[in-house]
Amino acid sequence: MGSPFILPRPASLQDPLRIAVMISGGGSGLEALLRFQSKEQRCHHTVLVLADRIGARGLSHGKNRSIRSIGIPIPDNASKSENRLAHEKLIQTELESSKIELVVLSGYMRILSPWIVKKWKGRLVNIHPSLLPDFPGAHAHREVISAGVSTTGCTVHLVDEGVDSGPILAQKTVPVLPEDDEKSLQERVKKVEHLLYPETIDLLCSGEFSL
């Protein structure tokens, strides 16, 4: 069971929802969302980009659009669990000071602790590169290929205290080709992610989902 999911308020074009996007790497998903938001007026806008490293390449997508974009590295002056807590407290402070209403994980490769998930539960979404509940975790494409399945895909879900286990909002399938390696499969899945995630975020912010 755990704590309840509290969805974002239904937003409007006049009063758009304030989104933070969290990334770890190249941020192609972030860029797809920013393009979606800049093409026409939406009921959400990205006002903060956070990465778990100062040098995360994807931060440039936010900076190029004058969005506050910062890397917050993991502190390394205490025990692993204390460093993790300190890191998440820094994240929480940034989210609060930017008055964030929805947190979008887009290639964020760290598991968030239950305390911070609880604070955002229902307003914290993730995209995972497989058809959940199949192939959760950090190596979805590798596992899809070694399982020999012919179809994979991507899943947008609300984040709960587990790993890739929260309620599913949307999924799309993608074929696995016999000649695929991890890289080619990842590229094909990402193309679909870049359509599915912005569309699903749009529906969530419009109040189209209920639990």
User: In the complex, what is the shortest distance from the CB of residue 162 to ligand GAR, in angstroms, rounded to a whole number?
Assistant: 13
User: How many helices (DSSP H) and strands (DSSP E) are in the chain?
Assistant: 6, 7
Q: Which helix (H) or strand (E) holds 12?
A: none
Is there a contact between 99 and 16 (Cβ–Cβ < 8 Å)?
A: no
Q: Is 106 in the site for ligand GAR (CB under 6 A)?
A: yes
Is there a contact between 23 and 106 (Cβ–Cβ < 8 Å)?
A: yes
Closest chain position to ligand GAR (CB): 107
Q: Point out the catalytic residue in the list 128, 141, 157, 194.
A: 128
Binding-site member from 11, 21, 23, 67 for ligand GAR (CB under 6 A): 23
CA-nearest of 208, 118, 113, 126 to 167 is 126
Annotation marks residue 128 as catalytic: yes
Binding-site member from 21, 47, 51, 58 for ligand GAR (CB under 6 A): 58
For 103, phi and psi rounded to 5 degrees? -110, 125
Q: Is 190 in the site for ligand GAR (CB under 6 A)?
A: yes
Q: Is 166 in the site for ligand GAR (CB under 6 A)?
A: no
Residue 199 burial (CB count, 10 A): 14
CA distance 151 to 145: 10
Q: Is 193 in the site for ligand GAR (CB under 6 A)?
A: yes
User: In the complex, what is the shortest distance from the CB of residue 9 to ligand GAR, in angstroms, rounded to a whole number?
Assistant: 26
Catalytic positions, written as ranges: 128
Return residues touching ligand GAR (CB under 6 A): 23, 25-29, 58, 106-107, 127-129, 138, 190, 193
